[in-house]
Structure 1
Amino acid sequence: MAVLILVGYVWTPYDTTGMSGADKFLAPCLAHPLGTDNFGRDILSRVMEGAGSTFLIALCVVLIGGIIGTVIGCLTGYFGGAADLVLMRVCDAITAFPSILLALVLINVFGMGKYQIILILGILFIPSFARVVRGEVAKERNLNYVASARLMGASHLRIIFRHILPNTVQVLLPIVAIGFNNAVLAEASMSYLGVGVQPPDASLGRMLSEAQTYLGRAPWYALFVGLAIVLMILGLSLLTEGLQQRRRS
């Protein structure tokens, strides 16, 4: 899947938006290894572009949620007090709602599209990072090396981001991998519902939604798109498991 995505950024066998009435619903063949869809577009080309789009959206979502959530977690875990109480209650309020339902509500505010989905999902991913980082920083702030840094006159921000944060990397890596996995699923789900990536851009979730209409006529359409989603999630899940095992060992 990684190779497919990387190649898809620079080359696809066919134009992903090019339509041909004469090539509608072609079964897999040498010219079109995964067949064609209801507009005569090459499914392999669109899977390559759609997987790349899903990957980039998931990456941006994890970056937004991870960076903002890490900063919030570091500050609240280190300083505590009223700011910690308020920000953690805000995180609780966000996580109390089903993520898809809350995303649909936010879509009514920000609108539909690729960039809106990145922003919305990024906001929804902040609490998960903030809570994990907060717990680790709160644990580290009372250790001897932090007390030594204070005695040496290090500023609070230097202690947080230069001394404490690097010691939480082993915990953060599995969380990032899990977040990436969840971001891929969330993007595919939103596009499947028609509120994510909009036509003519390719998206695995939207392609799967289109394919279900033609299951009887072109079963390969749903099969190959669904298989691409499964392989991405499986690969990310195996990566996450590997990181967690490494951390435990």
Structure 2
Amino acid sequence: MESTLAVKQATEFKKGIQSGISIAIGYMPIALTFGLIAKTTGLSLGETVMMSLLVFAGAAQYISLSLLAQGIGIFEIVLTTFIVNIRHFLMSASLNEKADEDSIPARMAYSFGITDETFSVAATREGTVNAGYMFGLNLTAYSSWVIFSGLGFLIGTGLPQTLQESMSVALYAMFVGLLVPSMKKNAKVVFLAVLAACFNSIFTLTELMSTGWAIVLATLLSAILVEIVETVKLGRRADADE
């Protein structure tokens, strides 16, 4: 029985690796850019690789670099990235409904590697997913992210100092590149972005609080207000249907 289970897990592990190759390829340019910007932000090679090893969250890592460049405190950075990544609770809960009855330690281990991309691949796969498949999928994506983060840093080391300093602009270009496609697809994202920008500007210009707390509160307030408006709209539609 145990040998049959081991063979099944090994087979699923290989399938997971195959499914993760496209994600790994997609991570290459983003991880390289992260490594380049991490170098210009002032991180060491060890710190850059360690962040990718321990955090493994593209948007959160880019935001962290931006906050570090502004001299924001650790607590504000942790809280901001927590808010940004809170969607992972929902993704994990959703994937749990599709997962086989693996042991809790196994689920805890592979849940670390869940990203937007690995979740999408696992969630759209026919049938269930098990620990073998998830480990293969996540390990492939994870290895690509970590390795190319380090390579990006090393490439940045070889660039002229002037070009290294100008790479900080790429950080904002990356945020714009992430935001604009979402804004085109969903008006809700437009309102969220505008509200967050307005709140952050008010908090910063009036010097009511530090830059770090301004970002945290602007993010929270805009998200809460948009969700309240969305809930009210849904309630009105339900009343109209009745």
TM more than 0.5: no
User: Which one scores higher on RCO, CA 8 angstroms, separation ≥ 6?
Assistant: 2
State TM-score, norm by structure 2. 0.27
State TM-score, norm by structure 1. 0.27
Question: Which is richer in helix?
Answer: 2
